Structure 1
Amino acid sequence: MSKWFQTVVTVAPVGAEVEVGGAAGFIDQVKHPSWWDENVAPPRIGGEIHVVVLDADREPPRMTHCNGHRDRRAAVRRSERLEPQSQGQGSG
């Protein structure tokens, strides 16, 4: 999973389509904080938002803009870097 700044290209009642480097992605309305917090502005066409890819295998890939998802992904990436690459190597 990767983090990017993406440009909002379409906004609909069900979510927003975003684009980065010619690649499209989709943010479901519940994956944007404006769905949960009336003080957060909804996505706007032409706006740039920071997203995390949740499911790159779907077409278009599914993304999130929620802080909790971004924080959780950052924690996973940190733990992946700390895990040994292989176990039992060099013993014998």
Structure 2
Amino acid sequence: MLDIHTCVQLISSDPQTANHARDALCNAGISCQLVNSPRDCQHAPACRWLQPLTNELQTRLILNDAINTLEKTRHAFKSRDLADLRRRLQALMETL
């Protein structure tokens, strides 16, 4: 169920179909934003799907994934070495 304050993003490469869908949503009282191209999206400047990843962002994503994996598996693998590795990776993330 949608909250009445939620703005739905309607993404379509077919403008005619998108306009019909937008009209139907608006008639139902649902706020929506029609996105035909990346420049139409209000979040495009910050969207990692539309922008090539910088080396720094790619490194952060990989480090974050490794830290999360170590955190999720810490009870399955009770290892002081893995715990130390997780802490070192977290410290590295803080310096980036």
**Which is bigger in relative contact order (C-alpha 8 A, separation at least 6)?**
1
TM-score w.r.t. the length of structure 2 is 0.22
Report which of the two structures shows the higher radius of gyration computed on alpha carbons: 2
Structure that is richer in strand per residue: 1
